[in-house]
């Protein structure tokens, strides 16, 4: 179907935006979506491969809602990077529409969003906006849920499921568009959503799936000899890919394997780098190396790899480094990326060849386990670039002839697994039930039970008796904890219960914080109060200080052992105390490298912990305020966590351009406060330390 044939059916704005981008024809799934009534406000579930045009299907519905019906549209995705990418796409295609992105502060109503036509948000941010009572939600005409297979994710699926169920009640007239490349039970999810189903195997770039063994690729109907000499499978595949002038992504099961892979592959890749590319790679490497105030060993390692045209990519990198790697791969500077599954979800970073080297992984909960068909299919989806390739390759590696058949059967010829609800767990339900009561969305046990019968869990299992029992237990807990009060059959959140829900922290973590706030605390105890929470998991390894501190902070730990967290199998005080000591080292100005080595962590993991700790310190200070407990120590702790500084530098970091490193240099050179900058000779000292340009910016801030 030609785009021009949509005249009179779709809006002129949508048709013009397509033509401006060189889109003159609908893909088969897009055509099916039109036939299914996407432009007639029908709910639609799209289950089709990566790069088949799902975003344009969503765009049809979004623009229809905004232009034809004068209603807002909201695009929801699980990853901040994915939300940002889609925001850029919409801004570019529709510069005249009011388009906003909101992925940050979970304790903000963001009233400014009311003025926008298209709003792009992360799943958690939209849930938070509803908890805060954002009034514009009822004006939304279309909700798009990208990567809807995340319903089955044990960590984040419940938020998505509750969010969809809630929105169907709050805005029953809104159109719902759900998108995924990996849904084994599309019909079941579509029936729950009261949606028309659009299923297609269409892919604009043919995807050849094969198994590699001894330098050969075994496809279904043919074999292919790989160029190159290496006997190591993934290196041989890289040699072959580079000979074709193409790029590759190789997926590993662990961060360590990804880094080791990049190290090995770099020796091959650098031989294919042109002279003019080497200087550009050096500049990229220099950026990556200097993202932190002082480079860590991991920064140095990544930078060295990038100079050779290869990079590793995993959650241990800080966000800025990940973005530089992604951008440099997209523009062809980096030839090979060795990644964990951090690249599995829909950000647009395709390659000609994708290799899933490891089909097993280890987790603390499950031990050794095989990747699912859905996961491997997601990884395969990164192969084949519509603008550059006529075909993509998705490859697995066999260790023997017999394993070829096993891998084919398990992953290539297998059906996608069904997505199952993850709602039926107490910790998950606890958070959502408090939010229902706090927002006065649901106020009785009966109405809460009725709500869950409308969830995907209720649809899948038909019987929610088990959840009903859990709901009863949770409501009793909330009364005991004084988060809610009951009058007859009606529940009402107390002031502290309402604030806990707004702060978007787990009620169990909140109970621990509320109890601990009432005790005498020093800095370590404050940090332990923050780290001994569900939000700070997983913890770092146990260090010697924590074993010694175990006895010093026994009063806190004993109450914890007797409390509810132990009851639900969340008791691990030594590890959470170790994590507290890690944060203590940070606020005492230990370098990232020292911390990374001591606690066997990574810069990315450290900065994620710091972000979470900042939020929990803020939440603790807010709860202390309600409880009429002095909170200045928590406010100061939050500042120290942000900058990684001792108390004596708190005044200096108020200045722009001054972080932990510059503040320490200033302090050690006699400038111990902002007031000291007015002293004679201070300007010369600053210029000597940081150069004329930075010195002028610092001095200009003095009254």
Q: How far apart are the first and last CA of the chain?
A: 66
Q: Quick check: bond before 317 cis, omega within 30?
A: no
pLDDT digits (tens, 9 = 90+) for 334-352: 999 999 887 776 567 779 9
CATH 3.40.50.300 fits 206-412, yes or no: yes
Q: What percent of the chain has pLDDT over 90?
A: 78
For the cut 70, the answer to whether the pLDDT of residue 363 exceeds it is: no
pLDDT band at 563; cut points 50, 70, 90: low
pLDDT band at 426; cut points 50, 70, 90: confident
- Phi, psi dihedrals of residue 75, rounded to the nearest 5°: -105, 120
Residue extent(s) of CATH 1.10.3380.30 domains in the chain: 505-644
Q: Is the dihedral of CA 598, 600, 605, 611 positive or negative?
A: negative
Q: In the predicted model, what is the mean pLDDT of residues 272-281?
A: 92
Is the model more confident about 364 or about 405?
A: 405
Tell me what pLDDT residue 567 has.
47
Residue 202 CA: distances (Å) to CA of 30, 181, 209, 393: 10, 11, 15, 16
Tell me what pLDDT residue 232 has.
93
Model pTM score: 0.89
pLDDT band at 574; cut points 50, 70, 90: confident
Residue extent(s) of CATH 1.10.150.20 domains in the chain: 649-699
Classified as helix, coil or strand, 108 is coil
pLDDT band at 493; cut points 50, 70, 90: very high
Q: Go through 417-441 and write b for each residue having 16 or more CB atoms within 10 A of its CB, e for each that does not.
A: bebbbbbbeebbbbbbbbbbbbbeb
The pair of structure tokens assigned to 217 is 């690729």
For the cut 90, the answer to whether the pLDDT of residue 467 exceeds it is: no
Tell me what pLDDT residue 367 has.
59
- CATH architecture type of domain 649-699: Orthogonal Bundle (1.10)
Give the number of other CB atoms < 10 A from CB of residue 529.
Answer: 24
Distance of CA 570 to the CA centre of its chain: 23
What's the mean pLDDT when you consider all of the chain? Answer: 91
**Of the listed ranges 259-273, 391-405, 492-506, 538-552, the one predicted with least confidence:** 538-552
Tell me what pLDDT residue 463 has.
79
What is the rounded distance in angstroms from the CA atom of residue 414 to the CA atom of residue 408? 8
- CATH class of the domain defined by 505-644: mainly alpha
CB contact at 8 A, 566 and 557: no
- Number of residues in the chain: 703
Give the number of other CB atoms < 10 A from CB of residue 331.
Answer: 10
With 0-12 / 13-18 / 19 or more C-beta atoms within 10 angstroms meaning exposed / middle / buried, residue 460 is: middle
What is the rounded distance in angstroms from the CA atom of residue 468 to the CA atom of residue 472? 6
Compute the C-alpha angle 330/336/339, nearest 5°: 95
Q: Half-sphere exposure of 434 toward its Cβ, with a 13 Å CA cutoff?
A: 32
- CATH architecture type of domain 426-501: Orthogonal Bundle (1.10)
Q: In the predicted model, what is the mean pLDDT of residues 166-177?
A: 96
Cross-strand pairs, 119: 74, 100
For the cut 50, the answer to whether the pLDDT of residue 569 exceeds it is: no
As a dihedral over the C-alpha atoms of residue 439, residue 430, residue 113, residue 170, rounded to 10 degrees, the angle is -60
CB contact at 8 A, 23 and 29: no
Residue owning tokens 């105890």 = 525
Distance of CA 552 to the CA centre of its chain: 36
Q: In the predicted model, what is the mean pLDDT of residues 360-377?
A: 78
pLDDT band at 424; cut points 50, 70, 90: confident
What is the rounded distance in angstroms from the CA atom of residue 62 to the CA atom of residue 179? 14
Q: In the predicted model, what is the mean pLDDT of residues 676-702?
A: 91
DSSP 205-273: SEEEEEEEETTEEE-SS-EEEPSS--SSHHHHHHHHHHHTT--EEEE-SSHHHHHHHHHHHHHHHGGG-
Tell me what pLDDT residue 633 has.
96
Residue extent(s) of CATH 3.40.50.300 domains in the chain: 3-199, 206-412
CATH 3.40.50.300 fits 3-199, yes or no: yes
Q: In the predicted model, what is the mean pLDDT of residues 177-204?
A: 94
For the cut 60, the answer to whether the pLDDT of residue 112 exceeds it is: yes
pLDDT band at 556; cut points 50, 70, 90: confident
pLDDT digits (tens, 9 = 90+) for 49-88: 888 899 999 999 999 999 999 999 999 998 888 899 999 9
Please choose, from the candidates 287, 341, 285, the residue with its C-alpha nearest in 3D space to the C-alpha of residue 310.
Answer: 285
pLDDT digits (tens, 9 = 90+) for 578-633: 999 999 999 999 999 999 999 999 999 999 999 999 999 999 999 999 999 999 99
Q: Give the DSSP H/E element, type plus range, for residue 651.
A: none
What is the rounded distance in angstroms from the CA atom of residue 201 to the CA atom of residue 199? 7
The pair of structure tokens assigned to 555 is 């009063």
pLDDT band at 568; cut points 50, 70, 90: very low
Q: Quick one: DSSP state of residue 412? A: I
For the cut 90, the answer to whether the pLDDT of residue 258 exceeds it is: yes
For the cut 60, the answer to whether the pLDDT of residue 364 exceeds it is: no
């Amino acid at each position: 179907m030609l785009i021009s044939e949509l005249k009179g059916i779709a809006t002129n704005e949508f048709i013009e935006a397509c033509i401006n981008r060189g889109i003159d024809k609908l893909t088969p799934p897009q055509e099916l979506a039109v036939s299914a009534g996407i432009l007639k406000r029908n709910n639609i579930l799209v289950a089709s491969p990566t790069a088949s045009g799902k975003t344009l299907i969503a765009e049809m519905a979004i623009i229809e809602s905004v232009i034809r019906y004068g209603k807002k549209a909201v695009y929801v995705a699980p990853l901040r990077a994915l939300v940002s990418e889609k925001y850029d796409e919409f801004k570019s295609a529709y510069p005249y529409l009011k388009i906003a992105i909101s992925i940050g502060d979970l304790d903000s109503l963001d009233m400014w969003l009311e003025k926008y036509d298209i709003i792009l948000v992360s799943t958690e941010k939209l849930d938070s906006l509803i908890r805060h009572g954002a009034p514009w939600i009822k004006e939304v005409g279309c909700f798009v849920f990208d990567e809807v297979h995340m319903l089955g994710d044990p960590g984040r699926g419940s938020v998505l499921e509750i969010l969809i169920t809630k929105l169907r009640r709050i805005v029953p007239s809104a159109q719902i568009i759900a998108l995924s490349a990996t849904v084994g039970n599309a019909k079941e999810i579509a029936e729950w959503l009261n949606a028309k189903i659009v299923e297609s195997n269409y892919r604009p770039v043919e995807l050849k799936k094969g198994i590699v063994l001894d330098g050969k690729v075994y496809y279904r109907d043919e074999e292919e000899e790989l160029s190159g000499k290496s006997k190591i499978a993934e290196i041989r595949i890289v040699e072959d890919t580079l000979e074709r002038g193409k790029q590759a992504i190789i997926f590993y099961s662990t961060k360590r394997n990804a880094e080791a892979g990049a190290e090995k592959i770099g020796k091959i890749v650098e031989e294919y780098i042109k002279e003019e590319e080497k200087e550009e790679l050096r500049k990229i490497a220099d950026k990556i190396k200097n993202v932190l105030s002082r480079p860590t060993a991991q920064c140095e390692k990544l930078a060295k790899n990038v100079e050779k045209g290869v990079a590793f990519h995993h959650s241990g990198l800080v966000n800025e480094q990940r973005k530089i790697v992604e951008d440099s791969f997209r523009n062809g500077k980096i030839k090979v990326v060795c990644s964990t599954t951090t690249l599995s979800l829909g950000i647009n970073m395709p390659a000609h060849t994708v290799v899933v080297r490891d089909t097993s992984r280890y987790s603390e909960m499950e031990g050794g386990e095989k990747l699912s068909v859905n996961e491997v299919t997601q990884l395969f989806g990164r192969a084949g670039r519509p603008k550059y390739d006529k075909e993509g390759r998705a490859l697995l590696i066999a260790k023997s002839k017999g394993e070829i058949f096993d891998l084919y059967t398990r992953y290539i010829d297998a059906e996608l697994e069904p997505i199952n609800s993850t709602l039926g767990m107490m910790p998950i339900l606890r958070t959502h039930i408090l939010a229902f009561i706090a927002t006065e969305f649901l106020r009785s046990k009966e109405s809460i039970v009725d709500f869950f019968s409308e969830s995907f869990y209720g649809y899948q299992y038909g019987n929610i008796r088990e959840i009903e029992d859990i709901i009863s237990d949770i409501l009793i807990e909330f009364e005991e904890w004084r988060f809610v009060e009951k009058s007859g059959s009606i529940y009402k959140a107390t002031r502290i219960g309402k604030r806990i829900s707004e702060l978007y922290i787990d009620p169990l973590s909140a109970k621990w914080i509320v109890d601990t706030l009432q005790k005498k605390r020093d800095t370590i105890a404050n940090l332990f109060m923050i780290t001994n929470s569900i939000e700070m998991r997983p913890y770092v390894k146990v260090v010697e200080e924590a074993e010694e501190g175990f006895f010093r902070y026994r009063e806190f730990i004993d109450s914890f052992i007797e409390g509810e967290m132990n009851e639900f199998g969340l008791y691990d005080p030594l590890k959470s105390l170790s994590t507290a000591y890690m944060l203590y080292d940070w606020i005492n100005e230990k370098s990232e490298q020292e911390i990374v080595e001591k606690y066997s962590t990574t810069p990315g993991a450290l900065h994620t912990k710091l972000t979470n700790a900042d939020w929990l310190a803020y939440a603790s200070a807010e709860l202390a305020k309600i409880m009429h407990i002095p909170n200045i120590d928590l406010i100061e702790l939050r500042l120290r966590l942000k900058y990684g500084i001792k108390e004596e530098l708190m005044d200096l970091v108020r200045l722009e351009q001054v972080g932990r490193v510059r503040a320490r240099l200033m302090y050690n050179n006699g400038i111990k406060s902002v007031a000291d900058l007015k002293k004679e000779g201070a300007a010369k000292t600053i210029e000597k330390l940081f150069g004329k340009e930075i010195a002028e910016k610092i001095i200009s801030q003095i009254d």
